[in-house]
Structure 1
């Protein structure tokens, strides 16, 4: 029997993200749509693609370009960890939205002002931007990351969400379904998450991420 944790009459859905991942960003916007049409509340949590690919997978099979991107990926998630330490985990949702909108919708991946702008939008001090180059909060990142990946395994990436007691990679979808279409996708995930022994559905992607 699938049991989903409830908070104030809504089903709480832990969702692990790395701010750099465009697919996690699209899925996160879908989950916000689900909140509008189903009794669901997102519980935003951090994971790290850098930790996954460079440490846990030991960088195997990575091109030099992708390895450098992973090294750079430490910055935004470290800032998220510092923000959660400073103001509590409830700040992760607003901060993720502020960072993700700039990185993905506005395509400002190489703009160093993204982090300070996002911190300001989320009502956080710009001093937290210095966490991007510090290892001070790395253990917090790893603890949150491991909570998800100890369940879902290391052969997947992000997004990861948990429905009831079942952690799943995905859904990977583009663009984000809206309105009742978002709700129907949620209903399907609840069904598969409640199926004992269910592991995987997959097909090759035939399009790039769309942030519309």
Structure 2
């Protein structure tokens, strides 16, 4: 494990930017020795005290159901179900373009082989302690003025990278090497430009 890079990845299942970054990390994982831990965070929790538009706030209850579902699944069935459940949800939400929450949750649970009755826990706060602890574990490493995803590389955390579409092949590896290089410099804090495209799912 001496050459293994330890990666922690915090995601909100509803976030298209986190989804594309996660596809990039999957691509890199096929070629590099990464030990990735997938953890939940919540855009609803992040913005619960912020002044946001009514349209954006109306999105939070739906997003919260997905985060609560993942937290419950982790509590009851362990860490190993987090990434498969994220994949099953995200495939339907993002490239699938769907918003029928009940059906998405039911199908995702069936795909992963989890009990159907877990769906009911997406509508309760029974596992919010887990969800919030995971959220703040990630966000407190980078500050409140960012979003999802949050990635830590060998313990050094940052927001992003935000990419569209998810890079593949040599481009994916080149970007990864740049991120690792930035994470290895203690004085590196921020690199940003305005987005010129929206989420591109391929």
Q: TM-score range by the shorter chain?
A: over 0.9
Cross-structure match for 1:49: 43
Cα deviation for residue 104 of structure 1 reads 0.4
SS of 1:197's equivalent in the other structure is coil
Residues 146-175 of structure 1 deviation map (CA, whole Å, 9 limit, x = unaligned): 111111000000010101121010010011
CA contact (8 A) 1:16 1:161 kept: yes
Of 88, 92, 106, 2:82 maps to 92
CA contact (8 A) 1:104 1:211 kept: yes
Cross-structure match for 2:107: 117
Structure 2 unpaired stretches of 5+: none
Cross-structure match for 1:70: 60
Of 6, 14, 17, 2:11 maps to 17
Cross-structure match for 1:210: 200
Cα deviation for residue 111 of structure 1 reads 4.6
Structure 1 unpaired stretches of 5+: 1-5
Of 30, 50, 57, 1:59 maps to 50
Which whole-Å CA distance do the structure 1 matches of 2:122 and 2:50 have between them?
A: 21
Of 26, 33, 36, 2:27 maps to 33
Of 104, 128, 148, 1:138 maps to 128
CA contact (8 A) 2:6 2:155 kept: no
SS of 1:113's equivalent in the other structure is helix
Which whole-Å CA distance do the structure 2 matches of 1:182 and 1:43 have between them?
A: 19
Residues 60-98 of structure 1 deviation map (CA, whole Å, 9 limit, x = unaligned): 2x1111111023211001000111112101111100000
**In the alignment, structure 1 residue 107 sits paired with structure 2 residue 97:** yes
TM superposition score normalised by structure 1: 0.92
Residues 90-122 of structure 1 deviation map (CA, whole Å, 9 limit, x = unaligned): 111100000000000110023530001001101
TM superposition score normalised by structure 2: 0.96
- How many residue pairs align between the two structures? 202
